[in-house]
Amino acid sequence: MPAPEAVFRQDFSVKGGDFAKAGTVACRIKELLKDLGLDAATVRRAAIAAYEAEMNVIMYAWEARVDLAVSPDEVHITVDDRGPGISDVELAMTEGYSTATPEMRELGFGAGMGLPNIKKNSDILHIDSRTGKGTRLKIVIRRNGHGAS
Amino acid sequence: MIVLKDVLALLEGELLTPFPSPEAAFRKVFASDLMSDVLTAAEPGSLLLTGLANGHVVCTCSVADLAGVVFIQGKRPAPEVINDALAKNLPLIVTKMTMFEACARMAGRLEDGGHARP
């Protein structure tokens, strides 16, 4: 699923365990998409998917590179992390399933809705995870009024 | 739909971010301490009632297009959280009421099926 020719592209980095900066990348992605003139619904879906993915990196992985690519029809967000990976992706996609610590839950996260919510806000979600290596999420969101719905 | 001045009166609330118009309106109300639930189910333009008072609340509301926050049981966010909300034009309110009482009052006031959940 190669990203189509992008009219805008930017990379970000996320550090695992850095709760103080949680949401920084998602908020930046939201600002960029608004500045690019995307419609509010598409911006919201992309921001929520990015935020959930960013929180997953902060809670479970060591570090990640986030690539944002915007084409005339789609928004692509690719999150490539170095971390423990997901041993059972199907189980992780189950609403409510979580391996979060009490500390994570005290911050209001880790309710087992992250991956399902990314899927809900995406038109296409591909997860490629290798235990002990890391996880790659490829999120595609079709822009409202562009391409197939 | 409920406006800011009515929220303040109903919840005997204190506005922590003095900039918004008292007529600023909230389309619905959503109550949760779980930001995951807010990201999953809250509708844009909603007012959030929560017992969580950290910076993730402001970030979550910004990402999900929520329009304001009420902190229950007198929980005050730190000054840097308030400053972040000011920068994002997000009104913050604090009430001494419990979540149950705040939700009950909001639910009694709303006439359009807002998502007030005790």
Domains in chain A, CATH or no CATH each:
8-142 (3.30.565.10)
Whether residue B67 lies within 8 A of chain A, CB to CB, comes out as no
Per-residue pLDDT of chain A (149 residues; tens, 9 = 90+): 555 677 899 999 999 999 888 999 999 999 999 999 999 999 999 999 999 999 999 999 999 999 999 999 999 999 999 999 988 888 888 888 888 888 788 888 877 788 999 999 999 999 999 999 999 999 999 998 564 33
Distance, CA of B62 to CA of B64 (rounded, Å): 6
User: Any idea what the Cα angle at residue A16 is, between residues B34 and A52, rounded to 5°?
Assistant: 35
The position carrying tokens 């199907």 is A90
A59 exposure class (CB count in 10 Å sphere: 0-12, 13-18, 19+): buried
The β-bridge relationship of strands B68-71 and B92-94 is: parallel
Distance, CA of B2 to CA of B8 (rounded, Å): 11
Name residue B111's amino acid: E
Element (H, E) at B54: none
Number of DSSP helices (H) and strands (E) in chain B, helices first: 5, 7
* Closest residue to A30, CB basis, from B35, B44, B63: B63
Distance, CA of A67 to CA of A12 (rounded, Å): 6
pTM of the model: 0.87
Task: Determine the distance in angstroms separating the CA of A20 from the nearest CA of chain B, rounded to an integer.
Answer: 8
CB pairs under 8 A between A and B: 65
